[in-house]
Amino acid sequence: MKLLGSVASPYTRKVRVVLAEKKIDCEFEAADVNPPENPVNVLNPLGKVPTLVLDDGTALFDSRVIVEFLDSVSPISRLIPDDNRERVAVRRWEALADGSLDAGLLIRYESLRPKNEQSRAWTDKQTGKLARGLAMISADLADRPWCHGDRYTLADIAVGCCLGWVEFRRPAGIDWRGEYANLGRFYDKLMEWPAFADTAPPKA
Ligand code: GSF
């Protein structure tokens, strides 16, 4: 298997953390998806990372499909519960974390456009989504050690990757550490684990 990704990509990080937790060996290839014509396009028409290429050549995307696949190929360290309600609760956390990230990325992409083409209204709309997403993550986590139930799951991985990226890129100057002390404690604890420490985004 080969994972096409980027070390700054939070969705790629989610897959890399899952690979590490599941002890699955996988080659990593850095792919630059910035140019409209990029090497990922032939595998994934959306031209996005992460994209996982299986041994038979099948390309899987997006990160939610990839992590579901990885969790079921090995019984080691199950990250997505079998029970319907529990699984949906974990995937809801993932949707919240990924959706907050989606808004963060849109803020960042907008900020990289020429100043006179940037829309304040668009950026404000996405900033609202990200701010509300982080507020919900903080409120729902409260002072519990894990996002869902009494064990580490994909929910914690998704939230950790979201927090790590927002701290790295600071879209719209958002400072979740300053605003939500519980998120700081949560993220710092995750970063003690090799799977998280080894996949941390580069220094900004
Ligand atoms: C999002 C992937 C994505 O936007 C997933 O895999 O979960 N829902 C998808 N990836 C970005 C890179 S990133 O993580 O910052 C990407 O590939 N952007 C290129 C583009 O053309 O949007």
- Interval 72-124: pLDDT, tens: 999 999 999 999 999 999 999 999 999 999 999 999 999 999 999 999 999 99
What pLDDT is attached to residue 86?
98
Q: What is the CATH number of domain 84-197?
A: 1.20.1050.10
Give the distance (Å) from ligand 1 centre to CA of residue 51: 10
Phi/psi-derived region of residue 42, left when phi > 0, alpha when psi is between -120 and 50, beta in every other case = alpha
Among 29, 33, 40, the mutation site with the greatest number of ligand 1 atoms within 8 A of its Cβ is 33
Question: What pLDDT score was predicted for residue 203?
Answer: 81
Name the segment(s) of the chain with CATH classification 3.40.30.10. Answer: 2-73
Residue 178 has pLDDT above 70, yes or no: yes
H/E run at residue 186: helix 181-190
Question: Is residue 51 classed as helix, strand or coil in its secondary structure?
Answer: strand
- Looking at the chain, the whole-number percentage of residues with pLDDT higher than 70 is 100
How far apart CA 111 and CA 123 sit, in angstroms, is: 8
Atom of ligand 1 nearest to the CA of 61: 6
Residues carrying CATH 1.20.1050.10, the chain: 84-197
Residue that has been written with the tokens 């799951």 in this structure: 153
Please provide the average confidence, as pLDDT, over all residues in the chain.
97
Nearest ligand 1 atom, CA 64: 7
End-to-end CA distance of the chain: 30
Q: Indicate whether 2 pLDDT > 80.
A: yes
Q: State the pTM of this model.
A: 0.97
| Residues whose beta carbon lies within 6 Å of some atom of ligand 1 | 9-12, 33, 47-50, 62-64, 98, 105
Q: How confident is the model at residue 21 (pLDDT cuts 50, 70, 90)?
A: very high
Q: Which CATH architecture has domain 2-73?
A: 3-Layer(aba) Sandwich (3.40)
Q: Which atom of ligand 1 is nearest to the CA of 98?
A: 7
For residue 196, how many other CB atoms are within 10 A of its CB?
A: 22
Residue 62 contacts residue 9 (beta carbons within 8 Å): no
Pocket probe for ligand 1: among 48, 52, 102, 166, the residue whose CB has the most ligand atoms within 8 Å is 48
Q: Which of ligand 1's atoms lies nearest the C-alpha of 48? A: 17
Mean pLDDT in residue range 29-42 = 95
CA 150 to ligand 1 center in whole angstroms: 31
- Give the pLDDT of residue 204: 66
Mean pLDDT of 11-29: 97
pLDDT digit string, tens, across residues 140-176: 999 999 999 999 999 999 999 999 999 999 999 999 9
